[in-house]
Structure 1
C-alpha cells in the first residue's frame, strides 16, 4: 500500500469516526465535528477529499436509512438511496472547493463551503454543520461565539491546525465542566407523547379528548402555555378549533400544538395557538422534510400536494406578548432557520417534532442536541415537545 493510499484511508476512517461521534445525540460531543475541516484539508487529492466528505456526512446521518424504512414501511434499500442522495450536496460543495494548495486560499474555500451549506439551496440538506458546536464551546456568547467558532473552523484548515485543536479542546473541557441544560421559559411546559404513527392521522373526537385530558392533567391549576408535538391535532378544521376552545373555556391555559392546514394545492405544516378566547395559526413551517413532505417537483408536472416550504417567512412569532422562535422537526437539523430567527432576538425557542419514524435511530436525540446547543449559544430558554 502506497503512502498516499494509507494516508487517505486513515483520513476517511477518521472522518467516519468524527461524524458518528459528533452527531451521537449528546450535545457535549458536537465539538468533535470541528475536526472535519482539518481532515478535509489534509487530503492529498480531490478524490480523497470526496471520500473524506462523504464518510463524515454519511456517518453523521447514519440513522437516515432506518428512519426512511420506518416511514415508508419499506426495506433499507430505499433508505440507502435517499441517504446517498442527501449527501450529494455536502460532498459536491466540499469537492469543488477543495484545493491542493495550502494556505489561506484553502481556508477561504472552506469558509465558502461552510456558508453554502448553512443557507439554501445547499443548506436545505445542510445537516451535521460544524458551526453547531458553537453552542457547546462558547456558552452565551451569541453571535460572537458563532464568529469565534467560524474562526476556529478556518484555523483547522491551516498548518496551525494542531495548535487550534489544542486550544479548542481546552475551551471544550472548560465548557463541559460548567455545562447545564437550557432552562424552560417561564410559564411554558412541553409535553412528550408516545402515540407512534397514529398521531396526526387519527382525527377522531376520542383522540382530541385524550389530548385535552393530557393538557389538563399537565396544566393542573396553573395558567400555563402547554406545547404539544408536531402534528398533534391532525387536520386543523373549524370543528377541531371548537372542540378545543370549549374545553379550555374558563381556564387561562393556552395550547400550542402541531397541525396541518390542507387546501387543493397542498398543505402547510403549522403550529396553532388555542385559548378559550381565540385560536389560529401561529407558525408555518419554513422547511418541511424534503421528499417525504416537501415535493417541489410536483409543480413542474402540474400536480398539487406536498407540504409548502415557507423558507424565510415568520422566523419569530408573538405568543403571550413574547417573541419566540419556533422550530418544527427537520428545521432543527439545519443552520439557517435558527440563525434567521436569532436575528430577531427572540425570548425563547420552541421546538416540536413527530419522531415516530425515527425508532431505533438517534435522529430525535440529534435534533434535541442541536436545539440545546443553539439555545445555550444565545442564552435562551428552550421548550420541546416530541412524539415517539
Structure 2
C-alpha cells in the first residue's frame, strides 16, 4: 500500500509538473508573438523562443510553445479568408470562416512540427541543441515549408545586424543557436554570446543612412476591391488610377509607384486607355510602376501577379510566391503562377530596385538576392483591401522592414486599402 501511494504521489507531481510547463509554454508563446510583432515591435524577443524551447522538458511542451506563437502571430487568417472569399463571391461567410479556421490551425501545427521533432533530449550536448535549432529555423524559412514561412525567428537578424546582408543573416542564425544552448556557464558559450553581442553593437554603430531616391513617390490608395465584373467598373477604376498618377507627377514625382494588382487583369482595352498617358510619361522622362495581372493561358486561366514598369523605363517582375489558396491554386480553374526566383533586379530611373509583391513581404527566401547584392532601393507593393485594419497589415510591414534593414537598403511601400 505504501509503495502504491508513493507511485500515485509521484505520478501526480509529475503530471502537475508537465502541466505547469505546458501552461508556461502556452503563455510564453502568446507574449513573445505580441512583443515581437504587432502590437509590439521588438524582434529581439524572438531569441526567447529557442531559449525556452531548449529548456522545456518534452516535445508536447515544445509543440505548445510554437503552435501558440504561430496561432497568435497569424490570428487574422480566419477573418482574412472570410473577407477575401466572400468579397470575390467564391464562398459563403460560414464556409470561408470554416476554411480560414482550418488553415489557421493547420499552419501553426505544420510550422511547429520541425521544432517538435528536432527537440533533443535534455541530456544532449550544447552543440546538438545549436545544430537542431539552426536546422529547424532553416526548415521553416526556406521552401517547401517556407512557402508559408511567415513569422520566422530569423527576422531577428535584421534587428541585430542591420546592413550586413548574408553575414548578418548567418550571425542572426548563430544568435538563435546560441540562445538555444542550455548550459550557459561554459567558457565557449560566454565567448560566443560576447562576440555576437559585440558584433551587433558594431553593426548598429556603422548602420548606413537609408534614404530613397529623390522624387520617387509611393502612393497609398483607398480604392478597395477592384470590381472586374464589367467593363464599366474597370474603366471607372482606370480613370481613378490615371487621375492619381497625373496628380503625383504634377506634384513633382519622376517615379510613381502604385500598389500590387491595382490595375487588375490587364486587358487589350486597358492598353488603349493608358496609351496617351504612357506616351506623355515617356516624353517627360517619367516612370510608372504599376501592379497588375498578366494572362499566361486563357483556359484554364493562368496569370502572373506582376509589377510592370512603363513610361520612360520598361521592365517587369512576376511574383515569386503569390498568396497560397487565395491566388496560387495549382490545379485550380483559375490560378496565379509563380515567377522565376532568379529574376534579376529591375532598373527604374537608373536605380536597381528589388521588388516585393504583397505576400512576399512576409517571407525571406524570395529576397535571397538582397542578401548577396545590395539593391539601391526595395519597393514593396501590396493590395490589402481585406486586411488593412487588422494586425496582419502591420505584421506584413514589419516583416519587409526587417528585410530592408538587413539589406541596408531604403524601403518604399505602396498599399491599397
Equivalenced residues, count: 380
Q: Which residue of 2 aligns with 1:362?
A: 391
Cα pair 1:65 1:80 within 8 Å, conserved: yes
Work out whether 1:132 is the aligned partner of 2:155. yes
Using the TM superposition, give the Cα deviation of residue 146 of structure 1 relative to its aligned residue in structure 2, in angstroms.
1.7
Say which of 220, 225, 246 aligns to 1:197. Answer: 225
Unaligned runs of 5+ in 1: none
- Cα shift readout 1:107-135 (whole Å, capped 9, x = no counterpart): 10110111112211011011101111222
Cα pair 2:120 2:129 within 8 Å, conserved: yes
Using the TM superposition, give the Cα deviation of residue 99 of structure 1 relative to its aligned residue in structure 2, in angstroms.
1.3
TM-score, normalization: structure 1? 0.88
Say which of 103, 110, 129 aligns to 1:89. Answer: 110
Q: Which residue of 2 aligns with 1:211?
A: 241
- Cα shift readout 1:131-162 (whole Å, capped 9, x = no counterpart): 11222222222222222211110011112569
TM-score, normalization: structure 2? 0.82
Does the residue aligned with 1:196 lie in a helix, a strand or coil?
coil
Matches within 5 A, 1:1-388: 2-24=16-38, 28-73=41-86, 74-75=93-94, 76-100=97-121, 101-160=124-183, 182-198=210-226, 204-220=234-250, 222=252, 224-248=254-278, 249=280, 250-262=283-295, 263-264=297-298, 265=300, 266-275=302-311, 282-296=316-330, 298=331, 304-310=333-339, 312-388=341-417
Cα pair 1:136 1:175 within 8 Å, conserved: no
Does the residue aligned with 1:357 lie in a helix, a strand or coil?
coil
Using the TM superposition, give the Cα deviation of residue 237 of structure 1 relative to its aligned residue in structure 2, in angstroms.
2.8
Cα pair 1:25 1:368 within 8 Å, conserved: no
Unaligned runs of 5+ in 2: 1-14, 87-92
More RCO (CA 8 Å, sep 6+): 1
Query: Distance between the aligned counterparts of 2:269 and 2:175, measured in 1?
Result: 53
Q: Which moved more, 1:81-90 or 1:323-332?
A: 81-90
Q: Mark the CA change 1:335 to 1:320 in structure 2 (over 3 Å): closer, same or farther.
A: same
Query: Distance between the aligned counterparts of 1:25 and 1:141, measured in 2?
Result: 27
Query: Distance between the aligned counterparts of 1:347 and 1:190, measured in 2?
Result: 15
Cα pair 2:126 2:183 within 8 Å, conserved: no
Q: Which moved more, 1:132-141 or 1:228-237?
A: 132-141
Q: Mark the CA change 1:85 to 1:370 in structure 2 (over 3 Å): closer, same or farther.
A: same
Query: Distance between the aligned counterparts of 2:313 and 2:172, measured in 1?
Result: 43
Which structure has the bigger radius of gyration?
Answer: 2
Query: Distance between the aligned counterparts of 1:347 and 1:212, measured in 2?
Result: 27
Using the TM superposition, give the Cα deviation of residue 171 of structure 1 relative to its aligned residue in structure 2, in angstroms.
9.0
Cα pair 2:226 2:264 within 8 Å, conserved: no
Q: Mark the CA change 1:37 to 1:384 in structure 2 (over 3 Å): closer, same or farther.
A: same
Using the TM superposition, give the Cα deviation of residue 261 of structure 1 relative to its aligned residue in structure 2, in angstroms.
1.0
Cα pair 2:165 2:372 within 8 Å, conserved: no
Using the TM superposition, give the Cα deviation of residue 177 of structure 1 relative to its aligned residue in structure 2, in angstroms.
11
Q: Which residue of 1 aligns with 2:11?
A: none
Query: Distance between the aligned counterparts of 2:401 and 2:286, measured in 1?
Result: 26
Query: Distance between the aligned counterparts of 1:181 and 1:361, measured in 2?
Result: 31
Does the residue aligned with 1:116 lie in a helix, a strand or coil?
helix
Does the residue aligned with 2:53 lie in a helix, a strand or coil?
helix
Q: Mark the CA change 1:285 to 1:102 in structure 2 (over 3 Å): closer, same or farther.
A: same
